[in-house]
Amino acid sequence: MSILKSNCGREGSALRFFYEYAQPVAGEGHFLHTYKCDGNPIPSFEGEPTLVTINGNIDDFTADVWNSLNSDNKVSLYTRFIDLATGEFEDRIVNKNQ
């Protein structure tokens, strides 16, 4: 998992962070935010991905996360479920303007 963002808004300067979870735990996920919290301007996300508990299937989880986001600021959401035994995965993408 990785995040790429501008370096304090400097054109042509980027920060890239990688996160690897070598021993993933069933029922746990990691959430990358776009923003840290409310504000004006809204401050960019910082730190490690947020640990989340996952209940239900990918559609339930995707709907729960999407519905919990601030409706004025949400744009899109990408979720992925990975079967730890087989490596098979499912993806979901939700966009506000679709």
Tens-digit pLDDT profile for residues 4-34? 877 877 888 888 889 888 888 888 888 877 7
Residue 16 lies in a domain: no
With respect to residue 58, please indicate whether it lies within any of the assigned structural domains: yes
Residue 43, pLDDT score: 74
Helices (H) and strands (E) in the chain, counts: 1, 6
Q: What's the rounded mean pLDDT across residues 75-88?
A: 89
In a domain, 79, yes or no: yes
Centre a 10 Å sphere on the Cβ of residue 50 and count the other Cβ atoms it contains: 11
Residue 6 lies in a domain: no
Structural domains in the chain (count): 1
Tell me the per-residue pLDDT of 30-81, one tens digit each, with 9 for 90 and over.
Answer: 887 777 777 777 777 777 888 888 888 999 999 999 998 888 878 899 999 8
In 19-83, the DSSP E strands lie at 28-31, 50-53, 76-82
Query: Residue 71 is encoded by which pair of tokens?
Result: 């409706």
Per-residue pLDDT, 57: 92
pLDDT value of position 46: 73
Question: What integer pLDDT is reported at residue 63 of this predicted model?
Answer: 94
User: Would you say residue 3 lies in a domain?
Assistant: no
**Confidence band for 3, pLDDT divided at 50, 70 and 90:** confident
